[in-house]
Every structure is written in structure tokens, then in C-alpha cells.
């Protein structure tokens, strides 16, 4: 996430990867809740939050760069 933030680019990761990884983390959070495994829930919630942040940055940076290039 830090690299994405500093470079303002997430071109190295695809939407499919981000969606698949987020889905997996979400499933682990659900499992942790059902199994009453707080460490599993906490670790995967944190990972899911970081992954969603990268997803949001990818979306913002790609759409922001298209908007700027259209104005030129």
C-alpha cells in the first residue's frame, strides 16, 4: 500500500487480483467470527482494509489520470 501511495500508481495489480484477494480475506473474517478466533478476524480485517485501500487508490489514480489527459 505504501508503494502505491508513494508512486501514485497501481498498474502492477489487476482488479481481478484485488477482488479475489479481498473476497478471500472477507471469507477468513467470516470464518474467524464463526470459530470465535479473534486473531484470525483481526489479522484478516487489517489485511482486507489495506487491500480495499489499494483498490480505491487504483480506481482513483486510473480515473484521475484519464481526466487530466483529456483536458490536455
Per-residue pLDDT of the chain (72 residues; tens, 9 = 90+): 788 888 888 888 889 999 999 999 999 999 999 999 999 999 999 999 999 999 999 898 888 755 544 554
What single string gives the DSSP state of each residue in the chain?
A: -HHHHHHT--TTS-HHHHHHHHHHHHHHHHHHHHTT-HHHHHHHHHHHHHHHHHHHHHHHHHHHHHHHHHH-
Sequence-ordered list of residues with C-beta below 8 angstroms from that of 5, at least 6 positions apart, any chain: 57
Write down the pLDDT at residue 68: 47
Write down the pLDDT at residue 72: 47
- Residues 54 and 10 sit within 8 Å (Cβ to Cβ): yes
Amino acid at each position: 500500500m505504501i508503494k502505491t501511495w508513494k508512486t501514485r500508481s497501481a498498474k502492477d495489480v489487476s482488479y481481478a487480483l484485488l477482488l479475489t484477494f479481498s473476497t478471500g480475506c472477507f471469507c477468513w473474517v467470516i470464518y474467524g467470527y464463526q470459530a470465535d478466533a479473534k486473531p484470525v478476524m483481526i489479522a484478516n480485517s487489517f489485511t482486507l482494509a489495506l487491500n480495499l485501500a489499494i483498490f480505491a487508490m487504483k480506481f482513483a489514480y486510473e480515473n484521475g489520470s484519464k481526466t487530466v489527459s483529456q483536458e490536455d
